[in-house]
A and B are shown apart, each in its own frame.
Chain A
């Protein structure tokens, strides 16, 4: 037993351990200031202490989980978070060089497969689904000896903007527990913001990384479509989905993005990221556009003021700011709400009660069609059903041309708007969401008003561009995010632009 004073010191250092960034934790591990085991234990303790009120995690990779359904018993103990950490300590002890993510505790959105761990996508239909293999991003993180703490809550199948559509109850915003953390990667964002992990992975189909990052006051990157493999990501809308990092700093985003990106033969839409030649930006050479269509009626005046203030700060630093126009902006949201549900209705057809997932097949009375109807009726929640209905309608005979094909053509125009402005400017600055985090329950009964929280983020997915959200101020106690949109595969540039702001003003 240690003395009281020593305990206090230990306690303080534990508190500090969960305040670190990836870069700081990596330095500490290398210098042996603390072990990977201590770091991991500090996060597991913090999760146990704080996650009762935040509810960011659906599954924690600890001993309690190992004995429950969530793990295959055969591999349970060797893969526990603490075991992963021990391995890193052995590496450090033998004097080996460790990767930047070795021993770094992280959380994974529950629509990304981690072998032998429960993977629900926030849905009752996958409540008992055990991932049979690792997603490519997980394989890459494991190769770097990253420590996976657990799986985070989300809107069912990533459909939603508040994490209220989870079949397992909502996550609470760490800045105000009565409010939503945003969504759909709300569990991941809340976990990072509450210091329950050093970073998290999320997925972004229409803003699902950026909007929760904005609501929780942290940094989130939605990479260029194709930059990160989607293999092992439970599909929502395949032409829009991307996996990306959620972290405390822009520097940390770079480290995680670097680790997970790259062409993967298991995802034929993934591409080799072209190397960006010398990206040491000179501030005075930077030209950044501000799309006038993003500051219109409907935006919360306080949010508008905070974002405009941030833009002014760039200008004061010598960046050339110019107003630009993306004329088809107002059509992005209706366009998205045809394309995403259409793709979803096709992707979610696989949940049939026969191959895996919730099933009514055991009922001896029911016929094949009834197995489909009843398994899907019981297994899917209201928002997922709504979008399957919408998508099926848009793709059905007689409506395909009027809805789906028309939306695809409007998508071309939205993309061309961006192509045109990027001939003149290096990047765009916009708000992430028209309002800060809203109250739990406030929008859940009004799908359209919920959809409006994605009004500034969906265009980026339709055009396949990279964009980050970083905190730029607060409305009361609620964080407000700034979105930086870049040209395809210019993640590095928007991250540097983000870092300029982060270093100078936060």
Chain B
């Protein structure tokens, strides 16, 4: 069983806000899914290499040249907040100072 603290820790790593109710719900649900996944421990993998991709693809290279696709305007329009052609992000120094 994952602890309450465990769920809160994972949620913070995942940058996912949880409600009080959800912490409890995830404790139960994640525990039961993880119990099911425990099944993998039955398999002898001592001599097995991991597979990250089903295809063996070599590194794919291209020359390091700028490619203009003219998407800048459309991409900027999708951003929730911009300023002078840049994405706007909250100040982190102020936040840091306040935390201290």
Chain A residues with a Cβ under 8 A of chain B: 129-130, 132-133, 225-226, 239, 265, 268-269, 271, 328, 330-331, 334-335, 337-338, 345, 349, 352-357, 359, 361-362, 366-369, 371-374, 376-377, 380, 385-386, 388-390, 392-393, 396, 403, 405-413, 415, 447-448, 462-465, 488
Contact = CB atoms under 8 A, between A and B. Distances in A.
Contacts of A372: 15
Contact of A361 (B33, B42, B80): B80
Contacts of A338: 37, 40
Nearest to A364: B90
Interface residues of B, number: 56
A407 B40 contact: yes
Contacts of A464: 53-55
A357 B75 CA distance: 11
12 contacts: A133-B69, A269-B55, A367-B98, A368-B92, A368-B95, A377-B17, A392-B10, A406-B43, A406-B45, A409-B43, A409-B48, A464-B53
A292 B22 CA distance: 41
A390 B32 CA distance: 11
A330 B45 CA distance: 15
Contacts of B45: 406, 409-410, 413
B95 A389 contact: no
Interface string B8-46: 001101111111001000100110111011111111010
B52 A406 contact: no
Contacts of B33: 337, 386, 390, 447-448
B17 A374 contact: yes
A412 B80 contact: no
Contact of A413 (B2, B11, B18, B48): B48
A362 B80 contact: yes
Contact of B16 (A354, A371, A376, A448): A376
Interface of B: 2, 7, 10-11, 13-19, 22, 26, 29-30, 32-34, 36-43, 45, 48-55, 57, 60, 62, 69, 71, 74-75, 77-81, 87-92, 94-95, 98
A424 to B, nearest CB: 20
A129 B78 contact: yes
Contact of B79 (A268, A354, A376, A388): A354
A182 B14 CA distance: 29
A352 B14 CA distance: 11
A356 to B, nearest CB: 4
B37 A368 contact: no
Do most interface residues of chain A lie in helix, strand or loop, or is the interface mixed? Answer: helix
B21 to A, nearest CB: 11
A148 B57 CA distance: 33
A351 to B, nearest CB: 9
Contacts of A369: 15, 95
Contacts of A265: 62
A225 B54 contact: yes
B87 to A, nearest CB: 6
Contacts of A271: 55, 57
A328 B15 contact: no
Contact of A388 (B14, B36, B43, B55): B14
Given A269-B55, A269-B57, A334-B39, 13 more contacts: A225-B53, A225-B55, A269-B53, A334-B40, A361-B81, A368-B89, A368-B90, A372-B15, A408-B50, A408-B51, A409-B43, A410-B40, A411-B51
Contact of A132 (B55, B75, B89): B75
A207 B95 CA distance: 44
Contact of A448 (B36, B57, B69, B94): B36
Contacts of B98: 367
Nearest to B26: A389
Nearest to A358: B80
A350 B36 CA distance: 29
Nearest to A343: B52
Contacts of B52: 239, 408
A133 B75 CA distance: 10
Contact of B43 (A349, A393, A413, A447): A413
Nearest to A418: B54
B81 to A, nearest CB: 5
A348 to B, nearest CB: 9
Contact of B15 (A355, A361, A373, A405): A373
Contacts of B7: 389
Q: Closest 4 CB pairs between A and B?
A: A464-B54, A377-B17, A408-B50, A359-B80
A356 B87 CA distance: 10
Contacts of B74: 130, 132-133
A271 to B, nearest CB: 7
B16 A373 contact: yes
B90 to A, nearest CB: 4
B40 A331 contact: yes
A345 B54 contact: no
Contacts of A386: 26, 29-30, 33
Contact of A130 (B22, B32, B43, B78): B78
B53 A239 contact: yes
B43 A328 contact: yes
